Amino acid sequence: MAKASPVKVLEHLYISPPVPNSSPPQTGSSLPLTFFDIPWLFFSPSQPLFFYEYPHPTNYFTSTALPNLKRSLSLTLQLYYPFAGNLNLPSEPGKPHLVCSQADNNKVLLTVAESAGDFNHLSGNHPRDVNEFYQLVPELLPPYLCADEKRLLPLLAVQITVFPGSGFCIGLAYHQVVADERTFNNFIKTWASFCSFGDSYPIKSLPSFDRKVIVDAYGLEEILLKEWWQRRRFSKKTVFGTEANDGYYLSNMVRTTFVVGSKDMERIKIFIVEECNIKNESLPEHLSAYVLTCAFIWVCLVKTQEGLNNEKYGREDPNYLGFIAGGITRLDFPVPTTYFGNCVGFGRTMARRNGLAGEDGLVAAAKAIGSTVKRLDKEILEGAEKWISDWKVLFRSEIHVMLAGSPKVDLYETDFGLGRPKKVEDISIDSTGAISLTESRDVKGGIEVGLVLPKPQMDAFSSFFNEGLKALPLP
């Protein structure tokens, strides 16, 4: 496959929050992890890319747009200061925590670069070599020892890459132990607002750092922390997985975006309802846009695996699908929507391979996903003590499927004063084998599905996807 176009680094610098004056002061120099945060110690960093059209030369960008991006990022870090902080990793069994004080050198590495790549090619939906994207992802700094021997891990890095005459890309890498996608969305929307409207932009709601709102009634923190320490003793790679851009080359892997529109979802729903009525079966729970899309993608992926490796998998083998479920609306105690940190649960559902690959695969998939969503709605913390062990099954699995992201998070509304993004990509799915879900930029009510597969598998999946939609009944 084609080699990645060269990227020239123009500048390395650190962005720090401004010295507090009349702005809201920091609420503390340390933030403890909650049981919602601890499972993310096992995850690779999140690596979102935002592509923006900008038909100007590099020198115009660096003299006009870049200073505003830098200043607005600094202002945002004053409000969302843990992103500029570090994770304290104790050497002896104990509890990691976020270190956020000025004395601990709060700062974020910002890289400014110029690319000779094809902006329109990279920001499309068609198959693209995954290796073309890694130079756009910032490199997170490794852990370091500070003066008092604390081992600190930086939590966020940013790279802004200019494509002369075409556009630019804002790439971020952040350890998910600091924030879920909802919190990250609040952070980047605030950065975009400061950039668009200036320093005096009135922030309607400040982030809440009150960890006391998270009620650990089942002792989950102790259980999950103990499992983390046990796994850490046996493997050096149990503290954050290998990053996708960690210097290795993924051969023959391509990245493609598929769009499931609202009309497609309606046709999937009609098919499921008709099949259930014909066979006098009960309808699946929660035939939402999310369930319908995930069911269709799951079935297409299983059929792809069946077609290429027909003898590799047992027909009765269980297939698992894992996904993230928002906790704020599901918990039986109140958590503000501005809460800074993780507040999501883990859902894992199962269906038999022969059921998913059969003629009623969509029904089987929708029933499995819907019943899990119903269980999470009722009690999101049920089985939470197994979150780490359950999700370990899904990592880099050829059989099981892991979903990342949420179409409820409106990333395409992130406007830095230059228009909406042309494309949003999640690069971290390369290392986890997950499927990314984002709200569609151009199709109202639609969902963008990001996939990374070997080229032959991607061709097969694309065929099942397109032919599968064509075969569905019309409304």
Q: 109-134: per-residue pLDDT in tens? A: 999 999 999 999 999 999 999 999 99
Helix (H, G, I), strand (E, B) or coil at 36: coil
pLDDT of residue 147: 67
Measure the CA–CA gap between 318 and 302, rounded to whole angstroms. 11
Choose the final residue of a domain: 175, 209, 238: 238
Query: CB of 241 within 8 A of CB of 395?
Result: yes
| Residue percentage of the chain with pLDDT more than 90 | 76
pLDDT tens track for 170-221: 999 999 999 999 999 999 999 999 999 998 888 888 999 999 999 999 999 9
Distance (Å, rounded) from C-alpha 137 to C-alpha 245?
7
Give the CA distances from residue 310 to residues 128, 304, 307, 357, 423, in Å, rounded to whole numbers and listed in that order: 27, 10, 6, 11, 35
How much is the CA Rg of the chain, to the nearest whole Å? 22
List, in order, residues 6 or more apart from 322 with CB less than 8 Å away. 346, 347, 348, 349, 390, 391, 394, 400, 401, 402, 403
What's CA 420's distance to the chain center, in Å? 19
Nearest residue to 341 via CA among 437, 157, 210: 210
The better pLDDT of the pair 460, 18 is held by 460
Answer whether residue 22 shows pLDDT above 60.
no
What is residue 313's predicted lDDT score, i.e. its pLDDT? 62
**Do residue 68 and residue 140 come from a single domain?**
yes
Least confident interval from 27-36, 244-253, 331-340? 244-253
Burial class (CB in 10 A: 0-12, 13-18, 19+), 36: buried
318 plus 210 within the same structural domain: no
Torsion of Cα atoms, 195 then 186 then 179 then 435, to 10°: -100
Q: Which helix (H) or strand (E) holds 144?
A: strand 144-145
Q: Given this model, what pLDDT does residue 246 score? A: 47
475 part of a folded domain: no
- For 347-403, how does the pLDDT look when each residue is reduced to its tens digit (9 = 90+)? 999 999 999 999 999 999 999 999 999 999 999 999 999 999 888 888 778 789 999
Burial class (CB in 10 A: 0-12, 13-18, 19+), 92: exposed
Mean of per-residue pLDDT scores for the chain: 91
- The answer as to whether 245 is a domain residue is no
Q: Give the whole-angstrom CA distance, residue 177 versus residue 33.
A: 8
Predicted confidence (pLDDT) at residue 149 exceeds the cutoff of 70? no
- pLDDT above 60 for 27: no
**How much is the pLDDT for 244?**
39
- Give dist(CA 331, CA 344) in Å, integer: 10
CB atoms under 10 Å from CB of 469, counted, come to 17
1 in a structural domain: no
CATH number at residue 261: 3.30.559.10
Mean pLDDT for the stretch of residues 89-117: 85
Neighbours of 241 (CB within 10 A): 17
Q: Are residues 156 and 274 in the same domain?
A: no
| Element of type H or E holding 205 | none
Domain check: are 57 and 166 in the same one?
A: yes
Give the separation between CA 298 and CA 363, rounded to whole angstroms.
11
Assess whether 371 and 453 both reside in one domain. Answer: yes
How many domains, the chain? 2
Distance between CA 176 and CA 156 in Å, rounded? 10
pLDDT of residue 309: 65
246 part of a folded domain: no
Residue 26 shares a structural domain with residue 168: yes
Residue type, 411: L
Looking at the fold, whether 191 and 289 belong to one and the same domain comes out as no
**φ, ψ at 204 (rounded to 5°):** -70, -35
Helices and strands (DSSP H and E) totals, the chain: 11, 18
Pick the last residue of a domain from 204, 238, 272.
238
Assigned domain for 243 exists: no
pLDDT computed for residue 247 by the predictor: 46
Tens digits of residue pLDDT in 261-280: 999 999 999 999 999 999 99
Residues 6 or more apart whose CB falls under 8 angstroms from that of 58 comprise: 10, 114, 162, 164
pLDDT in tens, 413-434: 999 999 999 999 999 999 888 9
**Same domain (yes/no): 228, 264:** no
CA distance linking residue 467 with residue 470, whole number of Å: 5
- Range(s) of the domain holding residue 135: 7-238
Residue 337 vs residues 146, 296, 343: alpha-carbon distances, Å? 34, 31, 10
Same domain, 339 and 456: yes
Structural domain contains residue 423 = yes
- Per-residue pLDDT for 148 more than 70? no
Distance CA 61, CA 113 (A): 11
For 312-336, b/e burial (b = at least 16 CB within 10 A) is: ebeeeeebbbbbbbbbeebbeeebe
Q: Which of these three, 209, 238, 267, is where a domain ends?
A: 238
**Is there a single domain that holds both residue 186 and residue 78?**
yes
Is it the case that residue 2 has pLDDT exceeding 80?
no
